[in-house]
Amino acid sequence: MNESRKNQVSLRGASAKEITRDALLDRVNQEREIRNYARRAKTAALLIQRAWRRHHATESAALQLREEWEMMMNSRSGSLTGSQMSMEILRPFLFFINYLSVRHGKIGARDRDCMMSCFRIVLEHITSKDLCKSFCAMAIGSIEERRLWFYQSKELISVCVFVLSLFDYSRPRAQDAVLTSTAMRLSVILTDPKGWNCIPLDGQKTAYTAVRNLVKFVGSKRSRLYGCIRKFILTLEAPFSSKELQTDDRFVIVASVITLSLRPFHLTNIDINEKGVMESAIQQYCISLLTIPWFPQRIPAILVPALRHKSVLSPCLRTLLILKEKILKEISEMDQLEITSRKMPHVGWALANTVCLATESDTSATDSGKFTEGLDYSSYLHVVILFADNFLVSLENSRQRKMKKVETEVGYDPSAESFLDVDEKTCGFPHLSYLDLFRPICQQWHLKELLASEKGVSICENDNLSSGNPEYSSKHGLLEIAYYYSCMLRLFSTLGPPIKSLPVLNMLSFTPGFLRRLWGELEKSLFHDNIPIANTNLVCATTFTGDRSGGISGRRQKSLSKETSNKWVNMLHKITGRSPTENDPIDLVNGQTSISQIEEHPSEEWDIESLRQGPEGISKDISCLLLLFCSSYSHLLLVLDDIEFYDKQVPFTLEQQQKITSMLNTLAYNSLSRGISPQYRGLVDSAVRCLHLLYERNSRRQFCHHSLWLAPGKSNRMPIAVAARTHEVFTAADGSPSSSTDSVITTMPHIFPFEERVKMFREFISMDKVSRRLAGEGTGPGSRSIEIVARRGHIFEDGLQQLNSLGSRLKSSIHVSFVSESGLPEAGLDYGGLSKEFLTDLSKVAFSPEYGLFSQTSTADRHLIPNTTARLLDNIMQMFEFLGRIVGKALYEGILLDFYFSHVFVQKLLGRYSFLDELSTLDPELYRNLMYVKHYDGDVRDLVLDFTVTEESLGKRLVIELKPGGKDICVTNDNKLQYVHAMADYKLNRQILPFSNAFYRGLTDLISPSWLKLFNASEFNQLLSGGDRDIDVDDLRKHTQYTGGYSEGSRTVKLFWEVFAAFEPKERCMLLKFVTSCSRAPLLGFKHLHPAFTIHKVNCDAPLWASFGGPDVDRLPSASTCYNTLKLPTYKRSSTLRAKLLYAINSNAGFELS
C-alpha cells in the first residue's frame, strides 16, 4: 500500500466518501455558527418575552395607577401639603402619563382630563401663599426635597412641552387649546420664582438657584423645548392676526411659548463654568427659532420687542460669532433633511430674521426707522456678513444643482424658471415678500447710523475679517460696512432679477458723503500719491493744477452764490460733503471744459502699479471696497447731469474723476488681459460698467487726456493684424470672446488708439473678403457681381427694389448702369467708379431732410436723426433696413459719405443706451427745460406738468403717456426726477427705437456688430465720413495719380499744388468734396482713398504769352466723383487756376460723367 494512503483515515467508514481536512473544518465552523445562531435566537426570544411581560406589567400598573389616581382626585377633599402633593399627586401622575401618552406620542381623552386636573392643582399650589401648601416650597426645603422637586419639575416641563408639540394652532380644538394654555402657564410659573407667593425672604436665594438649574435643563437639548417651539410657531400664520384678543387661550399659548424660549437669556450671576450651558441654550434658540420663515411676523406685535431686547439679541449675536462653525453646520444639516434644488436655505431665513429683529422700520415712511436699542453694531455687521456669505454659497449650490438637472433632463429650460420657487421666497404667504425683510437696509438712516458708529478701524487691522475671528466682533470700520453692503448687493441681484440691486444702489448712491469716504480709502490704498494731478482733498474740491485765472474762480463763486437755494444742488453737495459756496474748477459761464486745461502726464503715471496684476494683486478688503464703489458710482452716473459732473463737480472734482478713471481702466485692462477668475467676475463686471459710463461721458465732453485711456496697454498691446485675426478666429469658433485679447478688444477697445482701431476694422473687412473669395463669392466685376439699372431721377426707389432683398450678398461688387433723365442708357463701363457714385448719390437723396426719412437735430451741427413722422409711410421699416445696408456697404468698401448721424442715433446702432445729458446733442431747448424742472427751487406742481408728451402728426396732436396712467400723474417735487428721466428716455430711446432697430438689422448684414463696438459714436461718424482735421496736403500730393499727359513735374500740376496749399482749410475741404463727393479726408490718409485721387489733363489752347499776362484758358475745371478725378485744364498762371477752382467749387459747376 502506498505510504500516503496508509495514513488516511475515514471518519464514516469505508463506504463514505473521503473529504479533505479544509473541507471538514469549514463544515464544522458552519455547524458551530448554526448552533450559535439558534442560541442567540432563543436568548432574543426570551428577552422579547421578558420585555413584553415587563411592558404588559408596567402598562397594567400604569392603567391601575390611573384608575386609582382618578378615584383619588374625585374623592379628594381638603388641601394637600407640598410633600403630599409630590408623593400622592405628581408621582403616580408622571408615571402613568409618561407611559401611556408620552411614549405613544398621543393624548387620549382620559389622559387629557388627567393632565388638566393635575396642571390646575399644581398651579393652585404654586400660587398659594401658604408655605406648607405650596409645591414650590420643596425647592427651599431639605436636600432630598430639593432633589425631588427638581426631578418632578423637569418631568412636568417635559410633559408640558409634549403637549405643546401636539397642538396645531391653525386647527385648534377648544379642549386642546385650554390644555396647552394651562400647560404653558405651568411651565412659565415653574421657571419664574417671582410667581411663587409663598417664598420667604431668607429662602429667595435658594429658590433662584433651584430655578436657575431648572432653566438650564429647559435650555438643553434633552428638554426638546426649542424643537417643539419651532414646530408650534410654524403652524402660525404670517403676519399674526391682530383680530385675536389677548385673553384668548391661543394668544396665551404664544405669549407663554415666547416667554419660555427667552428664559435662558434672563439668567443672572452665571458662573464662568456654567457659560457653556447657556451658550448651548442660545445655540438652540438660534438654530431652531431664527431659521423659522417669517419668525418675527408670526409673533404678535406686542411680543416682538421682547425678541429685540438687547438682553436677547446681543447674546445671540455674540454666540453666533463664537460658535459659528458649529451653528452653521447644524443649519446646513437642516437643509439636507429637506434637500431640494429650489428650497430656500434655512440660513437665508436666519439672515432675514436677524436683520428684521435688529431694526425697527416704519413701513408708512420712506426713510424712517432705527436700530434696536442697545444693539452691538459690530456684532450685528459680522453676523449679517457671516449669514449672507453662507446664504450666497447655498444659492450658488442650488444653481449648480439646477444646471445638473438641465444636463439630465431632455427639453428642460433653465431660463423658464428661477432656481428658487416663488413659494419658497414667500413660504406660502403670497402677500409677503422675502426681500421686504431687508427694506431697512435700503434706507439711508440705516447706513448713516452705521457710519456714525464707526470706530475708526483701518483696513490693515481688518485683514482677518473674512476669517471671522471673534476678537474683531467688538469693533468695526468702513471696511465692515462695505462688506455688509457688498453682500446685500449680491443678494438682491441674485434674488430679485426684475429690479436686482436697485433699492440698495439708490440708497448707497445718494447717502451724503458715503461715496467720497469709499474713494478716500481706495485712494490711500492704491495710489500712494504717485500721480501728481492735484492736491485732492476728500472734504473740499480744489482747482486745476497749476496757476489758474482768479477771474474764473471769482465768477464761479458769484454764480454758485445765486444757486444756494436750489434743493437738488444742495442735495448733491451733501453727497460730496462740500458746502455750495466752495470753489469749483469749471467756468459756469462757458460751461465747457477746455481741452487745453487737461494736462497730459506720462502714461506710466496713469498705469496704476498696484493694479497691474488685476484683482489677484490686491487684497480681498480692497476688492470689496472697489466692488461697492464701482456699483454705487456707476448707478449715480446714470442720473448725474453735466452741470453736476463738470460745473458743480459732485461728487468728485475732475482731478479725482481722472484718478478714478485711471484706476478702473488699469483694473479692467489687466483683468481682461490676464483672464478673469470666477470669484472676481462681479468686481470686473462692475468696474467695466462704471468705466464705460465714464468713457461715454468723456467721449461726449472730454475731461481726461487721451493718453489716460491708452496707458495700461501702451507697453504690451498686441499688433493690429494679430489682434484682428485672434478676434475673428475665436468669434468664428463660438460667437463669444474666448481669449484675453479678444475680451480686451470687445470690452474696452479704447485701449487701442483710434487710428489702430480703424486699421483693425479694415483688417476685419479684408479677412472677410478673403474668406468670401475662398468660398467662391467674387468681389470684382464679372462672376457673381450684382447688376442693377438705376434711373437718375429715381435712384433710391430703384436701389430699394433691386438691392434690399440681397441681405449680406450686398458685399459682392455692384455693376451699375445709369439711365438718364431722358430715359436713355448712359454710356460707359462700371469699373468701381459708377458703383461709388451710385452709393453717394443714393445717400444724398435718402438722407436729405427734404426726402423725409431723416431730419436734422436742432443743434448747430445739424446732424441726422430718423424722422419720427415717417412712421406713417408704407414699408418704412424696409426703407430703413435698406439704408442700413447702404451705409454698411459704404463702410465695407471704404467709401466716405458726406454727413454725420446724431450721437443719439449712433448710440442705438452701437447697442448702447442713451442717458439724460445726451439730450443736449438732440434737442438743446428740451434739455434746458428739463434741467429747469430738475433744479426748480419751488413747488413743481406750479408748472402743471404730468407724465405725458404731446406730438403733432399730420396736423393732429397725439398725447403719449411716459408711464402707465401718466396723464393722471402730476409731476411733484418727489417724482420730478422720474419725470425728467422718463421724458429723456422717451426722446432718446423709445421714440426712435423702431427706426434704429430696422437700420441696425440692415447695417449688420454687412458689418459685424463686434466690429462696430470698436468705436464710440463720434468715432463711428468719423469712420463713415472721414476725419474733421485739416487736409494733409503733402499726404494728398504723395498719393495722387496723373493721367492724360500730366505728371508730377508738369507746370500746371505744380501751380495746382501751390494754389491748393495756399487755400484756407475750408476751401481745401470744398475742393476735396468737388472731386470725391466728400469734404473729409480718409482716416488713415489718402493712401486708403479708392479710387485714388487723380488729376487728368484737359488740353486747351492758350497763347504762349499767357504766362506773362496774356489771356489764359477760360474753361472751368470739372470732376468725375465716381473716379475721384479732377479734370484740370492747362492753366498757365496760378491766379487763373485759383480763380477758376474757387468758382467751380463754390458754384458746384463742372460736374459731369466721363
- How open is the CA angle 490-495-501, to the nearest 5 degrees? 50
Helices (H) and strands (E) in the chain, counts: 46, 12
Is there a catalytic annotation at residue 1069?
no
Q: Which helix (H) or strand (E) holds 96?
A: helix 91-97
Number of neighbouring beta carbons within 10 Å of residue 1000? 20
End-to-end CA distance of the chain: 131
Name the grid cell of 21: 481536512
Q: Name all contacts of 1033-1037 with Cβ < 8 Å and 24+ positions apart.
A: 1033/1057, 1033/1060, 1033/1061, 1033/1068, 1035/1081, 1035/1085, 1035/1086, 1035/1087, 1036/1081, 1036/1086, 1036/1093
Q: Name all contacts of 929-934 with Cβ < 8 Å and 24+ positions apart.
A: 930/980, 930/983, 930/984, 931/641, 931/643, 933/971, 933/976, 933/979, 933/980, 934/568, 934/641, 934/976, 934/977, 934/980
Nearest to 746 by CA among 963, 893, 910: 910
- Alpha-carbon distance of 1154 to 692, in angstroms, equals 49
- Alpha-carbon distance of 170 to 237, in angstroms, equals 8
DSSP-derived 3-state class of residue 499:
coil
Report how far apart, in Å, the C-alpha atoms of 454 and of each of 376, 479, 512 are.
12, 10, 16
- Classify residue 788 by its DSSP letter: E
- Alpha-carbon distance of 655 to 8, in angstroms, equals 109
φ/ψ region of 783 (left if φ > 0, alpha if ψ in -120 to 50, else beta) reads beta
Report how far apart, in Å, the C-alpha atoms of 363 and of each of 369, 717, 978 are.
9, 55, 22
- Alpha-carbon distance of 797 to 790, in angstroms, equals 9
Alpha-carbon dihedral sign for residues 893, 895, 896, 900: negative
Nearest to 425 by CA among 497, 331, 361: 497
- Alpha-carbon distance of 527 to 248, in angstroms, equals 66
Report how far apart, in Å, the C-alpha atoms of 731 and of each of 373, 399, 688, 714, 972 are.
58, 28, 21, 25, 50
Q: Which residues contact 904 (CB under 8 A, 6 or more apart)?
A: 865, 914, 918, 919, 921, 922, 988, 992
Q: Give DSSP secondary structure letters for 126-194.
A: HT-S-GGG-GGGGGGS-HHHHHHHHHHHHHHHHHHHHHHHT--SSS--HHHHHHHHHHHHHHHHHT-GG
Q: Which helix (H) or strand (E) holds 1118?
A: strand 1118-1120
- Alpha-carbon distance of 187 to 196, in angstroms, equals 13
- Alpha-carbon distance of 751 to 749, in angstroms, equals 5
Nearest to 761 by CA among 723, 735, 730, 731: 723
Grid coordinates 436742432 are at which residue? 858
- Alpha-carbon distance of 315 to 334, in angstroms, equals 23
Residue of 198, 286, 356, 1122 marked catalytic = 1122
Beta strands in 825-940 (DSSP E): 854-856, 864-866
- How open is the CA angle 576-577-581, to the nearest 5 degrees? 95
Burial pattern 51-75, b for ≥16 Cβ within 10 A else e, equals: eeeeeeeeeeebeebbeebeeebee
Residues noted as catalytic: 1122
